[in-house]
Amino acid sequence: MFRTMRIYRRSLGAHFRSLLEYEADFWVLIVAGAMFNALNLLFLSAVFAHVPALNGWSYAEAVLLMGVWSVIGGLSPLFFEGVWRLSWMVNQGTLDYPLVRPAPVTVQVFSSGIGLHGVGDIVTGGAMLGWALFHVDVDWTPLTVVIGLVLLASAATIHLSIIAITNAATFWISGPHPFLAIAVHTFEDMIKYPLTIYGAGIRAVYTFVVPFAFVTFFPVSWLLDRSAGWVGLLGPLVAAYCVWLARTVFRRGLRRYDSSGH
């Protein structure tokens, strides 16, 4: 386990250093990542200048939800960017290299890239999250903090697992670009708003089929003690299920991999 972690860290570190070579690009990416979050926040601020609540959610509550989404969304480019290159590796046959090296294939794939715009997401999202936590009405106890952190970790796990699963679809849907993953990822962006604003069909799909609701809506509802907030406590279970599914899909997929036949 420690060895795996070390390999992951060193591989990621190598990619990070290679990015630092182009200092201007480094800053452009971080700022660009931050800009979209700033605009989402501006949207909420402009709207809440006219209305007191969005579907029963106050300004601070809506900002909290959006902050959670930005922080979690920023984790994937920063620590998981390599998985987006899987379809290219499979298509070109370069997945052969990780397969013959003495380290877990997934670790090598996941750490084969780093997207610095994630820093912008995490910094701006963290600021939103921090500000909102001071302004929402929560009865803080040590237990709330612990459960909150567990739910946040579960949310991140669910988000990353779904990215891994949709990208692993490339073993079945051939092609150099992860179209399915990109499409699903775009739809995930809808969870920056409270799920209740959407129709029943979307709510059902986001809860039972692709459990994006457990990334932002349910854990935040739990923290704010809203109705059906208890569903948020199922987060760790959903996360475990997603990890299991990602693992299974990845293993089956790897077994199907037959190189590109040079």
Partner 1 sequence: MKPYLSMFLMSARRTFAYRLSALIGWLGGGAILISSLSVWHALLGEGAIAGYDWPMMKAYLVVAWAAGSIGASQGDWRMADRIREGHVATDLTKPVDYQGSRFAEHAGGLATEIPAILIAASAVIAFTGSIPGPANVFLFLLSFACVVPLKFCFTYLTAMLCFWTHNFMGISWAKDAIIWLFSGGLIPLSMLPVWLSVPASLLPFAGITATPAALYLGQATGAEAARLLGLQVFWVLALWFGARLLWRGALRALTVHGG
Q: Which of 5, 47, 228, 237 binds partner 1 (CB under 8 A)?
A: 47
- CA–CA distance, 44 with 59 (Å, rounded to integer): 7
Exposure pattern of 1-35 as b/e (b: 16+ CB <10 Å)? eeeeeebbeebbeeeeeeeeeeeeeeeebbeebbe
> How many chain residues touch partner 1 (CB under 8 A)?
38
- CA–CA distance, 118 with 33 (Å, rounded to integer): 7
Nearest distance in Å: CB 257, partner 1: 21
The residue range among 26-34, 90-98, 228-236, 244-252 that interacts with partner 1, by the rule CB under 8 A, is 26-34
Paired strand residues for 54: 57
Nearer to partner 1, 36 or 241 (CB): 36
Output DSSP code: residue 206.
Answer: I
- CA–CA distance, 199 with 45 (Å, rounded to integer): 24
Nearest distance in Å: CB 169, partner 1: 12
Q: Which of 1, 24, 100, 143 binds partner 1 (CB under 8 A)?
A: 24
Nearer to partner 1, 55 or 260 (CB): 55
Nearer to partner 1, 50 or 262 (CB): 50
Q: Which of 1, 2, 51, 209 binds partner 1 (CB under 8 A)?
A: 51
Nearer to partner 1, 1 or 46 (CB): 46
CA 218, 226, 68, 44 torsion: positive or negative? positive
Other CB atoms within 10 Å distance of the CB of residue 214: 26
Q: Rule CB under 8 A: which of 114-133 touch partner 1?
A: 117
The residue range among 43-51, 95-103, 152-160, 227-235 that interacts with partner 1, by the rule CB under 8 A, is 43-51
- CA–CA distance, 191 with 218 (Å, rounded to integer): 11
Contact call for residues 160 and 76 (beta carbons, < 8 A): yes
Counting contacts by CB under 8 A, is residue 20 touching partner 1? no
**DSSP 3-state percent helix, strand, coil across the chain (nearest 5):** 80, 0, 20
Counting contacts by CB under 8 A, is residue 202 touching partner 1? yes
Counting contacts by CB under 8 A, is residue 174 touching partner 1? no
List of residues contacting partner 1 (CB under 8 A): 22, 24-25, 28-29, 31-33, 35-36, 39, 42-43, 46-47, 49-51, 54-55, 117, 175, 177, 179-180, 182-183, 186-187, 189-190, 192-193, 196-199, 202
